[in-house]
Amino acid sequence: EAGVTQFPSHSVIEKGQTVTLRCDPISGHDNLYWYRRVMGKEIKFLLHFVKESKQDESGMPNNRFLAERTGGTYSTLKVQPAELEDSGVYFCASSPGTVYGYTFGSGTRLTVV
Amino acid sequence: AQTVTQSQPEMSVQEAETVTLSCTYDTSESDYYLFWYKQPPSRQMILVIRQEAYKQQNATENRFSVNFQKAAKSFSLKISDSQLGDAAMYFCALTQGGSEKLVFGKGTKLTVNP
């Protein structure tokens, strides 16, 4: 079974530019999550999709972040315009349900300069 | 609010020996799940072990076991017969029943010395 795939693995952009991160969950997993780890801090929840619907987006930091999940399959997370404090590792995870635990992707390391 | 605290930013262990990583948490819920995740360098996070709060028996997965002390809100991870491949960041995480989001600790970086 293919795992959770994220790309790019690394992205370096200038402040003010736009970046789009992509996540392909495990096939059949209705639940898809985005998390972010800023250097030296905890991994923080950003949002949760159930199929194509946003179940919980309480962790989205501001309206510069836009997440979509087309047709309940892959998801994108767009940051526009990027700021320095957006730097960090963005993780995507999918799950058939909480009790099973999540399967995480390898993350996208975003550096805003 | 739920919180997870990992008080050991770094730990080291000799190969073949045993190490325990600590984790404490706080939640007002009675129905919750606890997890330990492992993230090797430049690789994805992997679920190591899971514990349901309603289960008194400590979870075990091969060389990995937990000491779940519900009253003390403690959830430590014991790694027996440590191997070089165990070197990684270890994250303790909590989610409450009915919620889908994980609350993570800051992580513990484990080094395994040959």
pLDDT, tens digit, 9 for 90 and up, residues B20-35: 999 999 998 888 999 9
**Chain B residues inside the 8 Å CB shell of A108:** none
Q: In terms of C-beta density within 10 A (0-12 exposed, 13-18 middle, 19 or more buried), how is residue B110 classed?
A: buried
Is pLDDT at A99 greater than 70 in this prediction? Answer: no
Whether A45 sits inside 8 A of B106 (CB atoms) is: no
The pLDDT of residue B31 is: 87
Is pLDDT at A98 greater than 70 in this prediction? Answer: no
Most B CBs within 10 A among A45, A47, A108, hence the mutation to make, goes to A45
- β-strand pairing of B108-113 with B10-14: parallel
Query: What value does the CA radius of gyration of chain B take, rounded to a whole number of Å?
Result: 14
The pLDDT of residue B41 is: 85
Nearest to A3 among B35, B44, B91 (CB): B44
The pLDDT of residue A1 is: 60
Between residues B96 and B106, the one the model is more confident about: B106
Question: What does DSSP assign to residue B58?
Answer: P
Angle, CA of A105, A107 and B39, to the nearest 5°: 75
Is pLDDT at A51 greater than 80 in this prediction? Answer: yes
Using DSSP, state whether B86 is helix, strand or coil.
helix
Task: Provide, rounded to the nearest whole percent, the portion of chain A with pLDDT above 70.
Answer: 96
DSSP B12-49: EEETTS-EEE--EEE-S-SSEEEEEEEE-TTS--EEEE
pLDDT, tens digit, 9 for 90 and up, residues A9-50: 999 999 999 999 999 999 989 999 999 999 878 899 999 999
Nearest to A99 among B33, B101, B105 (CB): B33
The pLDDT of residue B74 is: 96
Task: Please compute the mean of the pLDDT values over residues A75-86 and round it to a whole number.
Answer: 96
Most A CBs within 10 A among B39, B45, B99, hence the mutation to make, goes to B45
The pLDDT of residue A72 is: 83
Is pLDDT at B43 greater than 90 in this prediction? Answer: no
